[in-house]
Amino acid sequence: MVTYLVQVATGGQIGSASSDLISIALVGVNGESPKQLLGDTFPAGSVQQYNINTPADLGQILFVRLYKELGVPKDNPWKCNYVNVTSPSGESTRFPCYMWLSGLMTMEVQEGKGILLTHGVNPLIVQQRKIELDRNREIYRWKVYADGAPYCIDASDAKELPPDARFSFQKYASFSFTLAATGLEIQLKGFTDCTDPWTDLNDINKVFLYKKTHNSVLVSQMWKEDSFFGYEFLNGVNPVIIRKCIKIPGNFPVEQEMVAAILGTSTDLNKELENGNIYLADYSILEGVPANTINDQPQYLTAPLCLLWKNPQDQLLPMAIQLGQTPGPNNPIFLSSDPEWDWTLAKIWVRNSDFQVHEIGTHLLRTHLLAEVFNIATARQLPMGHPLYKLIVPHLRYTLEINVLARIQLIGPGGLFDEAFVTGNGGVPVLLKKAMDELTYTCLCLPDDIKERGMESVPNYYYREDGMKVWLAVESLVSGIVNYYYKDDDMVSKDPELQAWVEEIFTKGFLGCTSTGVPSSLGTRAELIKYLTMVIFTCSGQHAAVNSGQFDFFSWLPNGPSSMRKPPPPVKGAATYQTLLDALPEVNTTTNAMAVEWLLSHEPEDKRPLGNFQNERFTEETPQAIIKEFQENLEGISKQIQERNSTIQGLTYLYLDPKNIESSVSI
C-alpha cells in the first residue's frame, strides 16, 4: 500500500460549508486511486486532512476527482477552495478549485501548473479538459439579447445562473439593503409618487440629506461654470467622447465673429484650430432614437454638437452649442456670450445627451455587456488549468448576476429606465445598436483611443494620465504571464483553446463584424498581450472610470438630467429660470434616477480591488513573482494619485486609483 496525504480546503464565505457526502479519487500518470469517502462534515474555512491509500504509486498526480452525493434531507452546496496532495516521497501538489459543487455531481480539478494544449500533453489531461468544457457549454449558454447587440447569458432570472456566477451572501445582502433603503428613503419623503415639477432647484438637496460626497456637493455648486462644464468632458463619467477638432464640421457653421468674445483679440478661430486647441463633442448617435413617455407626458431627446476651446490657462471652455445636427433658423447656435439662461439651458441639453450616450454606449455596452461576453466565452472555451483562465477569471466575478439584474430591473420592460430615462421604453435597444455600429477595437484599447481622438496632450486629463498608468501596469502583468507560458509566437497560433476563445468573443460579442478591427484569431505574443490587456482593463479600470462617479456628477439634476420634458429651444433670447424648470424632469423622475445613480456608484460588500488575488490559482514561482510585481506597481500608482489629489483644491479624480478600482464589473 502507498499512502497519500490529502488536504481539502472549504471556502470561508457564508454558505460554503456542506454536510453532503464528499468523496475523492487521485488520477496520476500510472493510474488512479479507488474512490474514497472523505465524510459529510465540511465547515466553512476549514482545511481537513485525509490519508488516501492506493495499491501502487500513481506517479505524477494530474488531477483529482471530487464526487458530491446528496445528503439528508436536501442538497447542501459545497465551496471547495483547493485540494493539496502530498505524495509518499514528500512532494506536494496543489489543485486550485474555488468552485461550487452543487447537487449530485463529479468535478475533476487539474493541478495548479498552467498547461497549454500545444504539444506533449498527457491524453488524460486532454480528456479531462474536454469533459470540463463540454459540461460548461451546457451550463453557460448564449442567447440573443437585442437586435445588433452582443449575445448574453441564457438566463431570465439570477436564480437560473450557476452557483459560481452568483453573488456571495455578503454581497447580495449588502446590495439588497442599499437598494431597499434608498427606495424607502425617497418613498417616505413622498418623492416616489410626486409628479410635480421642481419649483426651486435648491429643493433637490432635500432628496438625500445624508447621501452626499465631496464631489457631489462641489458639482451642485459649480454646475453653471463653463470651466466645470469643460472639465467634465475630461474627468467626468464619460471622458471618451471628446476629440480634437482640426476642421469645423460642415453642419456646425461656427464662424470667427461668433466666438470672438471668448477668444479675445490675441487669437482667432483659425489659429486655435491650427494650434490644436479646439475640441468637439458630437452626439449624432442620438439622431433617430425614440423618446420615452414619462408620467403620461412625451419626453424629448436631441443630438447636439458642442465646440470647446483650451484657453491659455489650460481650461477647457465651451464656446458654441448647436442642439441638432441640421443647421437652420430653428436650430440656432448658442454661444457662451449669449444671455445667462439661454446658455445655461443649451448646456443642460448637452448634459442630457451626454447622460444617454454614457449610460447605454460607454457604460452598458463597452463595459457591462462586453465583460459578460468575456465571461461566458471564458467558461466555455478556457478550462481551469489554462494559464489564461487563471489570469482572467478574477476579472469576471459577479458580472453575470449584475447584468441579469440590470436587464430585469433597469433596462427591461417596466424597469427604472422606463420610469426615469428618455431612452427608456424602446430607446435603449435602438441606441445600443447604434453604439454597436460605432464600436471598434481602437476605442477599447486606451492608448489607441487617446491617440485616435487626438487627446495625447490636453492638460489636466486625469482619465488619460491615471488610466495609462493602470493600462501599462496591466500590460506588464499580462506580458509576464504570456511570455512565461508562450515561448514563441507559434505557441500562440497553435493553442486551440485560446483561438476558440478569441473566435467566440468575436462572433458573439462583436457579431463577426470585421470592420470593428477586433481580431478573430491571434498569431503572435504581442497581439495576445494587447488583447488580454484590453479584456482586463475593460472589466476593471474602464468600468471604474465610467461607473464610480455617477452619483458625484449626476445627482445634481441640471448636470445630468435623465430626461427632458420640453423640446429644445428653437430661438435665442427666450429662456428664463422658469423655462429651465419647465424642461427638467419632475420630482419622481428625478428621484428615481438619483436612486439608480447612488446604487451604481457604491460597490456593495465583498469587494476585490484590482490586484487583490485572494484566490491563489497560479502555483508556480514565476507567475507568483509577476503578480507580486503587479501589486507593487499598483501601490505606487495609488500613492502618486493620492499625492496629486492632495494638492488639488476642489474636485478630485479618484476613480482610477487602484484602491478604488474593483477587479470586475460587479455593480
- In this predicted model, what pLDDT tens digit does every residue of 641-661 receive, in sequence order? 999 999 998 999 999 999 999
Task: Please state which of the ranges 185-194, 317-326, 387-396, 580-589 shows the lowest mean pLDDT.
Answer: 185-194
Q: What pTM, to 2 d.p., does this model score? A: 0.96
Neighbours of 326 (CB within 10 A): 10
**358 assigned binding-site residue:** no
**395 assigned binding-site residue:** no
pLDDT (0 to 100) of residue 190: 83
**15 assigned binding-site residue:** yes
Which pairs with CB-CB distance under 8 Å and at least 24 residues apart come from 619-628?
Answer: 619/94, 619/96, 619/111, 619/112, 619/113, 620/112, 620/113, 620/114, 622/480, 622/484, 623/114, 623/387, 623/390, 623/480, 623/481, 623/484, 626/477, 626/480, 626/481, 626/484, 627/477
Is-contact 207 594, C-beta < 8 A?
yes
Mean pLDDT over all residues of the chain? 95
**363 assigned binding-site residue:** yes
72 falls in which pLDDT band (50, 70, 90)? Answer: low
**543 assigned binding-site residue:** yes
Q: Does 71 score more than 70 pLDDT?
A: no
- For the stretch 409-428, pLDDT in tens is 999 999 999 999 999 989 99
Is-contact 54 1, C-beta < 8 A?
yes
- Distance in angstroms (rounded) separating the CA atoms of residues 98 and 626: 21
388-404 mean pLDDT:
98
- For the stretch 205-249, pLDDT in tens is 988 877 899 999 999 999 999 999 999 999 999 999 999 999 999
- For the stretch 484-494, pLDDT in tens is 999 999 999 99
606-635 mean pLDDT:
96
pLDDT (0 to 100) of residue 192: 86
- For the stretch 591-603, pLDDT in tens is 999 989 988 998 8
Q: Does 73 score more than 80 pLDDT?
A: no
Bridge partners of residue 82, in order along the sequence: 9, 96
Chain CA centroid to CA 82, Å = 29
- Distance in angstroms (rounded) separating the CA atoms of residues 589 and 584: 10
272 falls in which pLDDT band (50, 70, 90)? Answer: very high
- For the stretch 485-525, pLDDT in tens is 999 999 999 999 999 999 999 999 999 999 999 999 999 99
